[in-house]
Every structure is written in C-alpha cells, then in structure tokens.
Structure 1
Amino acid sequence: MFELQKRLPNYEIGTVDKFQGQESPIIIYSMASSTPEDAPRGMDFLYSPNRFNVAISRARALFILVGSARLFEPDCHSPSQMKLANPFCGYLEVAKCVI
C-alpha cells in the first residue's frame, strides 16, 4: 500500500475499512493473495461478504477487482466456505474480465 501511495500521491489509497462511508468514481479492490490457501487470515477474511459489499458499494461508476484466477477456484470443504466464495464467483460471471 505504501508503494502505491508513493507512486500515486493524488489518489486515496487504503483498506476497505478506511473507505467505509465514503464513495469514489472508481474503486480498485485488490485481493492481495494468490490463492485461498495463501491468505494469512484465511478464507473468512479473504472472502468476507461484508468487506466485498463495502468495496463494491463505494464505487459510483466502476469497480475493478484485481486478483489471481486461482482465487475464483477455491477448494471449499464445507457449505460455509462455499457461501463465502459464492459472491466472488458470482461477480466473475457478470464481470468483464481482462487478463
């Protein structure tokens, strides 16, 4: 995050928590993990529907999700994990993907 702030000094950069209650024309949401297994805080945090909803709802015009394709192929071991990953997989179905 600090490198982005250095390179893009005129833009607001921060976590989902920082932007709660604010809006922006464009939101770029980085998953910051290559696979669900690599997520330091686990699937609950990586796929948190509340955090995802906050991020999407802050964008007035454009929402960009940046992440590895592997994040959309989680190895779910329970219905609760499937429920966590579902909004991201649903987003992929309706999003215009650029690889």
Structure 2
Amino acid sequence: MIDFDAEVLAACQSEFGRQALYAPSGGAPIPVSGIFTDGYKSPVIDGDGNPAWTTTAPTFCVRASDLPSFPAKNDRVTIDAKQYVLMDARPDGVGWIVLPLKVAG
C-alpha cells in the first residue's frame, strides 16, 4: 500500500508549499510549509438575472504530520507577514488538512 502522506503530499508540499508560522491557541508558534490559496470574490448571476457575489475564503493546506496536534478554531497562521485566524479544520482522510482562514483584525 502506498504511503500517501510521504509519497504524494510531501511532493506537493515541496513543489507548491509556502512557509508560514502556525500558532496553536495556547501553544508556541512553529514554522510549517503548506499550500496557500488566497480568497476571492467572483460575480455570479442569480436565478432572476440579478448580479450577486460569491466569496471563497483563503485556505492553507498542511500535512497533519507536520502539526503538533489537530488544528483548532482560532489558531493563527502568519503568511507573508499577514495574520489569519483559523475558522475550521477539514481533514481529507489521507493526511492533508484544509484550513479555511479569515484575515485577523
């Protein structure tokens, strides 16, 4: 059986990852690497033909094996000197955790 974390996730993180500082609530910050996707707004047309907006939150995806414990709401991530607050933690079942974020402030 393939070690998905070591063979696939590590390669993705190595190729596309960015350095960040992960600060668990009540714990010391640690450096981590992960894949960051900034949030965006995009226009859509609703069912009545009216313009509307849909938003996507920024996300930071990390290997579970790189974190000291499972992420919790309100943990913080600093990427390129910009601080974000963790809104949720969504494990994918194979070792990857998607962290939806919001800008701290």
TM-score, with length taken from structure 1: 0.26
Structure 1 or 2, whichever has the larger Rg, is 2
More strand by share: 2
* Greater relative contact order (Cα < 8 A, sep 6+): 1
More helix by share: 1
TM-score, with length taken from structure 2: 0.25
